[in-house]
Amino acid sequence: MKDISMNYLAGESKNVEYKVALPDRSVKYVKTAVAFANGEGGRIVFGVEDQTLNVVGVPDDQVFTIMDAISNAIADSCEPLIIPDISMRDIDGKTVIVAEILPGAQRPYYIKSMGRDQGTFVRVAGTTRQADAATIKELMFEGSNRSFDQTLCLELEATDEDVAKLCSTMTEVAKANAKHDAGSIKPVTAKQLLSWGVLIERDGELKPTNAYAILSGVNDPVRSVVQCGVFKGSTKAVFVDRREFTGTPWELIEQAYQYVLRNIHMGARFEGVYRQDVYEIPPDAIRELIVNAVVHRSYIDHSSIQIAIYDDRLEITSPGRLPMGQTIARMKEGYSKIRNEALAAAFSYMRLIEHWGSGIPRIIEEVREAGLREPEFLGGDTDLRINIYRQLDASHSVVETSNNTVAANEEAALERQSAGSVPDQCRISAGSVPDVGNLTQGQSIVYRYVRKHGQITSADVEDLLNVQNRQARKVLSELVDAGILQRRGSARYTRYVISGSGAQEV
């Protein structure tokens, strides 16, 4: 009896709702039945007060009449048909009725008399709410077992030249992201895009899908935007900086990733005279979260991915409810549920993602190893929000420094080395700190930027030095020729890192 009480009286939640008595209007609980069928399922318990969890019970002489009324009301009112599992339970000597609703496969479920647009309901934060148009559309794709990104994009045309350009660009991205086997990357072809669902065949012609629009960076008709901001304090009341990025998925990922790195603290870990730059949040975890947001978000929902940097945390919000069958608990355990199948295949080819299901567990582990509290996963009903808190564990020997202090420490080490005050066996290796004693002012600015952010592009140099692209490339070439920077990637994906530093590919 005690176990039963604990199972059925744990409080209202995403999957449980209480009714003290059978409502006079059946729609009051039929809405919840619809919401459970459109979600993860759940149970409605009759005979329990929802606020106090006080067991009132139902009259013994009316139990079977009430059970029939509940079953008939749900079955007769809903489209497609919902058949609840009705049972009775004895709790503390009183009888309660439990209507169990399983997750439905023929979504969306709705109340027939209200119509699909007005009668579709979902569970949000333990309450039953009317679904908006984007959620209904998402439910329709789930019910038809189709992927939105593999659906024909009627508003877009793709010429043979456009397709060839996309194939070439994706091949370049894949090679740039390949760490040691770029030579083994096979060029993308239109046939490959067709097999992934990026293209679809209609009347003997190849037509673009929504995935094609997303990969091409076309922001209309499919919206693909990342909004980034830095805020003072722990709320959005006072903002310090805001940026909005558009473009191809790999451009969004890189721009958002660099934005976060520019706006979080960098510290230092010293081993003897050797200094290692350390971001307060592991960069790999940041990038993985951004990649996951871009590939797994709902593109039916026209909201933007939001990345907010507060004094105490990094917050990444991805639009759209979790896909059918996915939960936060299962996600943290490594269970992968792919929403956008065409994008997932393209991301895998371009080395933007690795093994399915490994991302979230790897992020959790990296954050723990950095001495931070475990990431916080919130929502899942209308969007998914992930928080990484910025406080450092005091047991880690990381010294947070301002950019000026980092530069001063580095310059002092170089001065001691050049003056001969440091023994040969303790000198900073060229791999750790290259010889930067004879740099011009512009070269020094570029070098300091790379030391802080890990990499730089010619566009970054243009902004830093307020010069034209030709002069920016000249400065970078001089640093490469001097053995200070190393070039990685090709064409528009070219970036520069510290030479010999073992900087990680990003």
Model pLDDT for residues 234-288, shown as the tens digit of each residue: 999 998 999 999 999 999 999 999 999 999 998 766 666 666 678 999 999 999 9
In the chain the domains, ranked by start, together with CATH numbers, are 16-144 (3.30.950.30), 146-390 (3.30.565.60), 441-498 (1.10.10.10)
DSSP letter at 428? P
Model pLDDT for residues 443-472, shown as the tens digit of each residue: 888 888 888 788 898 888 988 888 888 888
Give the HSE-up count for residue 268: Cα atoms under 13 Å, Cβ half-sphere. 19
pLDDT given at position 452 = 79
Residue 41, SS3? coil
- Parts of the chain with a pLDDT under 50: 1-4, 6, 392-434, 501-506
Closest CA to 34 of 132, 98, 107: 107
pLDDT given at position 413 = 41
Helix or strand (DSSP H, E) at 387: strand 383-389
**Helices and strands (H, E) in the chain, number of each type:** 17, 21
pLDDT given at position 4 = 44
Q: How far apart are the first and last CA of the chain?
A: 56
Cα–Cα distance list, 482 to 230, 393, 437, 476 (Å): 36, 39, 11, 10
Phi, psi of 43 (to 5 degrees): -135, 145
Q: How far apart are CA 211 and CA 192, in angstroms?
A: 13
Helix or strand (DSSP H, E) at 232: strand 225-232
Tell me if 298 sits within 8 A of 138, measured CB to CB.
yes
pLDDT given at position 400 = 42
CA 211: distance to chain centroid? 17
Provide the whole-model pTM. 0.71
pLDDT given at position 429 = 32
Going by DSSP bridges, is the β-strand pair 42-46/94-101 parallel, antiparallel, or unpaired? Answer: antiparallel
